[in-house]
Amino acid sequence: MRIKICKEHMGIMLKKGFPLALQSMLFPVANSIVQASVNTMGTNSIAAWGICDKLDLLIWLIADAMAPALTTYTAQNIGAGKYERVKKGALIGTGLSVISVGLISAVLYFGSGMIGPWFIDAKDVPALIPLVVKYMQMMAPFFIFYAVAEALSGDCCGLGETLTPMITTLLTICLFKAVCIFAVLPKFGTMECIVWIYIASWILAGMAFTVLYIRKSRRISVIR
């Protein structure tokens, strides 16, 4: 059996796959820029932020897992010609992500003071846990915007266009955070400002992907 590369299929895979790969790279790039600023805020803030990263890990795992799940679901149903299931699946999938993230957010909002000490020595609790509770209670009500952004990003990719979601992620997550770190943070110079930059990026991304999905999904009705 002779193995050869199909240029047509290879081109399609690169066209669809490269923006997805680049999109996955944008989050750690943006977070690295922010982390560099966090590292200037003092040892207590750095340690408290590290604990927050451990506490909200389940948030990111759930939200990030829903994106490829909905990409696959949407693409398969479009390929099968079952367009009526696409919008229904997007609504249910996004709803499940929001509900799951919302429940975990509620636990973190009210319980971070009890869970946080599991990750540090008892002698550090008085200094760090109040900061952990403060940062977590700032962020917890807004995690659902990230859940919406990730779910609808997956839906948009499943609709066949991966470049636009990548650009949207670049603008609302990576570029927005970078601009705020260099333009806004110097005016305030506080850890709370960094937290609000994160929150604002989630809200912006959630709103942007909602508008993007509504525009993309209208094409399904045209196809039908």
Residue 203 has pLDDT above 90, yes or no: yes
pTM across the whole model: 0.86
Q: How far is CA 19 from CA 22, 39, 89, 187, 211, in A?
A: 5, 31, 23, 35, 20
Structure tokens at 34: 């922010």
pLDDT for 24: 67
pLDDT tens per residue, range 88-132: 888 999 999 999 999 999 999 999 999 988 988 888 889 899 999
CA neighbor of 139 nearest in space, from 177, 194, 182: 194
Q: What is the mean pLDDT of the chain?
A: 85
pLDDT for 30: 77
pLDDT tens per residue, range 138-159: 999 999 999 999 999 888 888 8
pLDDT band at 17 (very low <50, low <70, confident <90, very high): low
pLDDT tens per residue, range 149-193: 999 988 888 887 778 888 888 888 888 988 999 999 999 989 999
pLDDT for 145: 96
Structure tokens at 207: 């709103």
